[in-house]
């Protein structure tokens, strides 16, 4: 029997995976509370990759979420060799039995602490593979179809039936190899994206992100949109980050209001800036346990409460 808010197909998959020993996302089904908050897993037709014996997406609905207010959607695109259960969970674990233990990003905990009236959506990208393949998100309408199916079908009982047109604000955050999927979403431009955040993720596709910044220049200058790029010393994104920082000023209107453009070497000092290029001393893996919360809590989403 499906639990409240869990898709019937997903409930079946959870049971099947539990028998195989994949306990990581079986636990997610139990993380539901009386107010409808919790972590949900779904197998989807429009997932980034064809349905298999693992979820296509993990969704976090935070405590206090008010379904009557404008709908916010925060998308997180994980990097290489990972799975959504490990990204959203708090315990380091393998994606497959006996596999390599991956660093958990604790996204659900961070999202709850951010206290924003939005849902967290973590699509399963290339499952436990050293690949940043965007899958169907690289095809025209692919990401839009994913969000449409998720909102109109799988989450209908939890937050009400919605369509892409109902999304008041959508933010895209990528870590590491997730930049290819982020670029694919921006390149399609068939879903309005108000915020983009790169977590040691600017390995390439720089012109795509430049075009997004340029097309949102006025909104960025007014603080209505945001672009953030956080890079480490050893992750391999420093050069592209510094290159983008030099180019951004020519993409934005002048004079800029104070605090709009920040290139900061003091981690966390200016996360409220609408354009932020920031170096962090954290490692490539560890910044995923810190910066999502910092950026979500200072985002343009409506606060809870």
Q: What is the pLDDT of residues 97-106, one digit of tens each?
A: 999 999 999 9
User: What is the average pLDDT value for the chain, to the nearest integer?
Assistant: 88
- The answer to whether the CB of 67 falls within 8 A of the CB of 254 is no
Alpha-helical runs (H) found in the chain: 8-20, 23-26, 84-88, 107-114, 142-149, 156-159, 179-188, 206-215, 217-221, 238-251, 291-297
78-101 per-position pLDDT tens digit: 999 999 999 999 999 999 999 999
Has residue 28 got a pLDDT over 50?
Answer: no
Average pLDDT of span 236-253: 93
pLDDT of res. 272: 80
Closest listed residue to residue 301, CA positions, set 84, 108, 71, 28: 71
- Distance CA(286)–CA(92), nearest Å, equals 12
Average pLDDT of span 15-29: 34
Has residue 277 got a pLDDT over 60?
Answer: yes
pLDDT of res. 23: 37
- The answer to whether the CB of 229 falls within 8 A of the CB of 243 is no
Sign of CA dihedral 185, 186, 191, 197: positive
pLDDT of res. 268: 52
pLDDT of res. 19: 26
Average pLDDT of span 118-131: 97
32-78 per-position pLDDT tens digit: 456 789 999 999 999 999 988 899 999 999 999 999 999 999 999 99
pLDDT of res. 34: 60
Burial 270-293 (b: 16+ CB within 10 A, else e): ebebbbbbbbbebebbebbbbbbb
- Distance CA(261)–CA(221), nearest Å, equals 9
126-138 per-position pLDDT tens digit: 999 999 999 999 9
Sign of CA dihedral 14, 166, 161, 138: negative
On the CB side of 102, CA atoms within 13 Å amount to 28
Domain residue spans of the chain: 8-297
pLDDT of res. 270: 61
pLDDT of res. 269: 55
CA distances from 255 to 220, 243, 245, 249, 250 (A): 13, 21, 17, 10, 11
pLDDT of res. 113: 98
pLDDT of res. 36: 85
Give SS3 for 39. strand
DSSP 141-166: THHHHHHHHIIIIITHHHH----GGG
- Distance CA(160)–CA(88), nearest Å, equals 23
Closest listed residue to residue 277, CA positions, set 212, 230, 210: 230
In words, the CATH class of domain 8-297 is alpha beta
136-161 per-position pLDDT tens digit: 999 999 999 999 999 999 999 999 99
Q: Percent of the chain, pLDDT > 90?
A: 79
- pTM beyond 0.95: the answer is no
């Amino acid at each position: 029997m499906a639990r409240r808010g869990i898709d019937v197909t997903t409930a079946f998959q959870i049971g099947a995976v539990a028998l195989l020993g994949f306990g990581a996302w079986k636990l997610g089904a139990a993380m539901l509370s009386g107010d409808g908050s919790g972590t949900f897993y779904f197998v989807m037709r429009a997932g980034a990759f064809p349905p298999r014996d693992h979820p296509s997406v993990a969704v976090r609905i935070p405590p206090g979420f008010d379904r009557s207010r404008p709908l916010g959607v925060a998308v997180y695109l994980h990097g290489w060799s990972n799975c959504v259960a490990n990204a959203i969970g708090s315990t380091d674990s393998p994606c497959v039995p006996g596999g390599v233990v991956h660093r958990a990003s604790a996204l659900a905990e961070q999202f709850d602490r951010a206290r924003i009236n939005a849902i967290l959506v973590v699509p399963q990208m290339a499952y436990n593979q050293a690949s940043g393949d965007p899958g169907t998100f690289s095809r025209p309408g692919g990401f839009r179809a994913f969000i449409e199916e998720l909102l109109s079908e799988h989450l209908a009982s939890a937050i009400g039936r919605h369509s892409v047109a109902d999304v008041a604000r959508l933010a895209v955050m990528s870590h590491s190899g997730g930049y290819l999927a982020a670029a694919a979403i921006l390149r399609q431009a068939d879903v309005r994206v108000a915020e983009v955040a790169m977590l040691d993720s600017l390995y390439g596709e720089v012109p795509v992100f430049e075009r997004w910044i340029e097309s949102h220049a006025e909104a960025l200058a007014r603080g209505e949109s945001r672009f953030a790029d956080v890079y480490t010393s050893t992750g391999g994104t420093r050069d592209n980050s510094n290159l983008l920082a030099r180019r951004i000023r020519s993409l934005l209107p002048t004079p800029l209001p104070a605090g709009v453009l920040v290139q900061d070497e003091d981690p966390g000092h200016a996360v409220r800036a609408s354009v932020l290029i920031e170096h962090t001393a954290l490692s490539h893996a560890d910044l995923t346990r810190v910066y999502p919360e910092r950026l979500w809590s200072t985002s343009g989403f409506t606060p809870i409460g």
